[in-house]
Amino acid sequence: MRYLDTEIRQMAEEDIPAVLAIEKLSFRDPWKAEDMLNEITNNPYSNFWVIELSNPSLNIKQICGFCDWWVTFDSATICQIAVHPDVRQMHLGSQMMEEIIATARAKKVRTITLEVRASNKAAIKFYGKFGFYVSHVKDGYYLDGEDALYMILEVKDNG
Ligand SMILES: CC(C)(COP(=O)(O)OP(=O)(O)OC[C@H]1O[C@@H](n2cnc3c(N)ncnc32)[C@H](O)[C@@H]1OP(=O)(O)O)[C@@H](O)C(=O)NCCC(=O)NCCS
C-alpha cells in the first residue's frame, strides 16, 4: 500500500493560487491575492504555513490547507486556518493546530486567541478539541452582521 505524507512549511509567493482556491471554498469574505502577498512579504508577525500532501514515488504534491497566525510578544492570534473541503475531517487541520501550539509554546506565548463565526459549529468543535474556550461574543463582528465568538487557549508550559 502507498501512503501519503504530509508536510507543513512556510507559504511562498508561488503558492498563492493554490491557497486562494482553498480560501474561496472556505470563507464567505475571502482574502485576495494581494492580501496574502502582503502577509508573507510585509508582516513580520505573521506565520503563514501550508500543509502539503505528497507521495514522492508517484511524484504527487498538493497543497491541501493553510494557516496564518501572528505572534506578538507573549500572545498569538489565529487569523485563518482552512483545509480543502475534499480532505476535511482527515486531521490535516489538527496537524496544523498541533504545530501552531508547539511553536507558540517554544516562543513562550501564553495565550492564543481567535474569532470564529457563531454559526461555524465545525470550527468551534475543532477549536474546543484543543482546549480553546469561548471568552465572550463580539456582536456584529463580521461584514454581514454575524456575531463572532472570541476564543482563547491558555498555552501550558511543558518545561
Ligand atoms: C475548521 C477546519 C480547519 C478543521 O479542519 P479538519 O482537517 O477538517 O479538522 P480535523 O479533521 O483535524 O478535526 C479535528 C476535530 O475537529 C472537530 N471537527 C472537525 N470538523 C468537524 C465537523 N465537520 N463537524 C464536527 N466536528 C468537526 C472534531 O472534533 C474533530 O475531531 P475527531 O476527528 O476526533 O472527531 C475545517 O473544517 C475548515 O477548513 N473549515 C472551513 C474554514 C473555517 O471555518 N476555518 C475556521 C475559521 S475561524
Domain boundaries, the chain: 5-154
Which of 88, 95, 113, 115 is the best mutation target for the ligand 1 pocket, counting ligand atoms within 8 Å of the beta carbon and taking the most?
Answer: 88
Atom in ligand 1 nearest the alpha carbon of residue 78: 48
CA of 23 to the centre of ligand 1 (A): 15
Residue of minimum CA distance from atom 31 in ligand 1:
126
Q: Note whether 37 and 74 are within 8 A (CB).
A: no
Who contacts 76 (Cβ-Cβ below 8 Å, separation ≥6)? 69, 70, 100, 104, 107, 109, 111, 112, 113
Cell matching residue 16 = 498563492
Average pLDDT value over all residues in the chain = 95
Residue of minimum CA distance from atom 33 in ligand 1:
89
Beta-bridge partner residues of 5: 54
The label of the residue with cell 491557497 reads 19
Who contacts 2 (Cβ-Cβ below 8 Å, separation ≥6)? 55, 57, 58
pTM confidence score: 0.96
User: Which of 152, 75, 78 shows the shortest CA–CA distance to 108?
Assistant: 75
Over the stretch 55-81, which tens digit does the pLDDT of each residue have? Answer: 888 888 999 999 999 999 999 999 999
- Position 58 scores a pLDDT of 80
Residue of minimum CA distance from atom 22 in ligand 1:
122
Cell matching residue 108 = 513562550
Cell matching residue 149 = 465568538
Over the stretch 89-122, which tens digit does the pLDDT of each residue have? Answer: 999 999 999 999 999 999 999 999 999 999 999 9
User: Which CATH class name applies to 5-154?
Assistant: alpha beta
Residue of minimum CA distance from atom 23 in ligand 1:
122
